[in-house]
């Protein structure tokens, strides 16, 4: 689960610049979802939904500074009950988002092994903790390299090698580096007054001054601003290629040790990154660069499905039941809203029995973003994306309608096209139905 890896950055998803042979190989050996979406495209709410299976609006989860309640049922609880050894490695970001402080054992989601950190955004200066040991430890080298080395070590030294395992690997790359980081001096595009992207030196050097084929919606204003975004995109690609190299090494290690024969590998990210598209940075927007995530499932029990592509939109809520379904685990919970995508993966059904998926941005507590990021709700169907802004309790204002087949970069807003008002109204009703339990849209629905 990389952090801030947009779907469009992978070669297998059509990126013309970045080389991602390992992730592309995973797609050739598995099933690739062409329209996977981060329902609430920010780190904290995505991770909340991933761990609990519940939608962010149900608990009114803010974009940041949220602490996962210790009593909340998590996906680790489900796998623990099924006899799995559960292992978590990397970024957590579910304990309030305060950086270097330890995450107490009760707030680690009950993973049987937990080696990680709340958040860092400084790849050469990351402090981590292990299980219930409050003593901080400093990572060696670049964070991405370290995380995959720890993942291998955890599997080599499993406490219960006779039991199956469920491991989450959560590198922070390709998330941008904290502004003002002293470690930006390692960056050949050193701009300490701006956000940056920081791979290790080898990968940054590969991207120094490289020509890029830019998407049509890329920043096209003043030359200084455009060059800044181009430099940022180079650094972003450098981080993606370093990530891909480590994933490739990890997949080779699984194969060499015989684990690949009965281990399902799932690749997804928490959200994307605008990196200059639509003149924007970061995430939290309804644009594809922000909500569009890779989702690839390589299941060795389905060798005939290698290279298959699923075009139905799927969302964050689907991941929890799908991971369980892949392992034959049934949950007795009645509050899960996502779908097990197993029938699609195994080609048992041709399409999902739903119109699409709802997307959202519920609440941004940081004052710096107050004027830049509004609350919104959207609906992604097979062919369209419909976007609304939250104008008040129970009030959604139509804001955008995009034909995702003809306009994948969302450059032509068709919301005012009267010939498409039936499409707009249909998607509006689908959105309201999908968000019937959203307290801000339905006063009768209580946040629980």
CATH (domain of 285): 3.40.720.10
In a domain, 369, yes or no: no
To which residue do tokens 């890029």 refer? 212
Q: Is residue 22 part of a domain?
A: yes
Confidence of residue 180 (pLDDT cuts 50, 70, 90): low
pLDDT value at residue 126: 93
Cα–Cα distance measured from residue 46 to residue 61, given in angstroms and rounded to the nearest whole number = 10
**Is pLDDT above 50 for 186?**
no
Stated pTM of the model: 0.93
Which band of pLDDT confidence, cut at 50, 70 and 90, is reported for residue 13? Answer: very high
- The answer on 279 and 197 residing in a single domain is yes
Query: Per the structure, how many domains does the chain have?
Result: 2
Domain boundary among 355, 385, 410: 355
Looking at residue 401, what is its pLDDT? 98
Q: Are residues 27 and 68 in the same domain?
A: yes
Give yes or no for residue 445 having a pLDDT over 70. Answer: no
Alpha-carbon dihedral sign for residues 439, 92, 357, 285 = positive
Same domain? For 191 and 296 the reply is yes
Based on the fold, state whether residues 214 and 151 are members of the same structural domain: yes
Place 446 in a pLDDT band, splitting at 50, 70 and 90. very low
Give the tens place of pLDDT for each residue, 311-364: 999 999 999 999 999 999 998 888 899 999 999 999 998 888 999 999 999 877
Say whether both 126 and 250 belong to one domain.
yes
pLDDT at residue 41, as a whole number = 96
Q: Which of 49-58, 112-121, 184-193 has the lowest mean pLDDT?
A: 184-193
202, 118: one domain: yes
Domain shared by 176 and 138, yes or no: yes
Structural contact between residues 265 and 31, judged by C-beta atoms closer than 8 angstroms: no
- Find the domain containing 145 and state its range: 7-355
- 3-class DSSP state of 68: coil
DSSP bridge pairs for 169: 89
Last residue of a domain, one of 306, 327, 355: 355
Last residue of a domain, one of 320, 355, 390: 355
Taking only the tens place, the pLDDT of each residue in 372-388 is 456 899 999 999 999 99
Asked if residue 439 is part of any domain, the answer here is no
Do 346 and 409 share a domain, yes or no? no
- The pLDDT of residue 148 is 98
CATH (domain of 382): 3.30.1120.10
- Following CA atoms 257, 261, 263, 266 in sequence, which dihedral angle do they give, to the nearest 10 degrees? 110
**How confident is the model at residue 447, as a pLDDT?**
36
Q: What is the pLDDT of residue 191?
A: 45
191 in the same domain as 45: yes
pLDDT at 291 over 60: yes
Would you say residue 365 lies in a domain? Answer: no
Which pLDDT tens digit goes with each residue over 389-424? 987 777 889 999 999 999 999 999 999 999 999 999
* Residue 15 included in any domain: yes
Average pLDDT of the segment spanning 83-107: 92
Same domain? For 396 and 296 the reply is no
Same domain (yes/no): 309, 221: yes
In a domain, 152, yes or no: yes
- Cβ pair 176, 121 in contact under 8 A: yes
444 located within any domain: no
Q: Give a yes or no: residue 443 inside a domain.
A: no
In the Cβ-directed half-sphere of 68, how many Cα atoms lie within 13 Å?
30
For residues 65 and 117, membership in a common domain is answered with yes
pLDDT at position 390: 82
Helix (H) or strand (E) holding 206: helix 201-206
Mean pLDDT of the chain: 90
């Amino acid at each position: 689960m990389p952090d801030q890896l947009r779907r469009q950055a992978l070669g297998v998803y059509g990126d013309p610049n970045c080389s991602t042979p390992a992730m592309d190989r995973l797609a050739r050996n598995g099933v690739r979802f062409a329209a996977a979406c981060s329902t609430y495209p920010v780190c904290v709410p995505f991770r909340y939904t991933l761990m609990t299976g519940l939608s962010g609006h149900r608990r009114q989860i803010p974009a940041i500074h949220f602490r996962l309640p210790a009593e909340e049922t998590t996906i680790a609880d489900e796998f623990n009950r099924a006899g799995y050894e559960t292992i978590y490695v990397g970024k957590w970001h579910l304990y309030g988002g305060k950086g270097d402080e330890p995450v107490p054992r009760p707030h680690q989601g009950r993973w049987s092994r937990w080696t990680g950190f709340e958040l860092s955004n400084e790849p050469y200066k990351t402090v981590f903790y292990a299980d219930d040991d409050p003593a901080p430890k400093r990572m060696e080298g670049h964070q991405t390299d370290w995380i995959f080395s720890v993942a291998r070590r955890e599997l080599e030294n499993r406490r219960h090698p006779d039991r199956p395992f469920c491991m989450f690997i959560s590198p922070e790359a390709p998330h941008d580096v904290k502004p003002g980081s002293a470690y930006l001096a390692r960056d050949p595009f050193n701009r300490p007054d701006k956000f940056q992207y920081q791979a290790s030196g080898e990968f940054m050097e590969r991207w120094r001054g490289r020509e890029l084929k830019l998407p049509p919606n890329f920043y096209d204003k003043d030359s200084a601003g455009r060059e800044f975004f181009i430099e940022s995109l180079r650094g972003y690609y450098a981080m993606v290629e370093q990530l891909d190299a480590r994933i490739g090494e990890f997949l080779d290690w699984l194969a060499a040790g015989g684990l690949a024969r009965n281990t399902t590998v799932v690749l997804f990210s928490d959200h994307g990154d605008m990196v200059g598209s639509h003149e924007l940075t970061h995430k939290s927007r309804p644009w594809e660069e922000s909500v569009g995530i890779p989702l690839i499932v390589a299941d060795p029990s389905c060798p005939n499905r290698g290279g298959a592509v699923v075009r139905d939109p799927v969302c964050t809520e689907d991941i929890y039941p799908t991971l369980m379904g892949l392992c034959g685990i049934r949950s007795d919970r009645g509050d899960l809203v996502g779908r097990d995508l197993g029938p699609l993966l195994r080609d048992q059904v041709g399409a999902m029995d739903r119109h699409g998926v709802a997307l959202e941005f519920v609440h941004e507590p940081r004052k710096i973003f107050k004027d830049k990021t509004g609350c919104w709700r959207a609906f992604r169907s097979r062919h369209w994306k419909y976007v609304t802004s939250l104008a008040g309790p129970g009030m959604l204002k139509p804001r955008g309608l995009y034909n995702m087949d003809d306009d994948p970069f969302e450059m032509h807003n068709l919301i005012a096209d009267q010939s498409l008002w039936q499409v707009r109204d249909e998607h509006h009703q689908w959105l309201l139905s999908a968000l019937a339990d959203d307290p801000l849209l339905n006063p009768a629905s209580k946040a629980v």
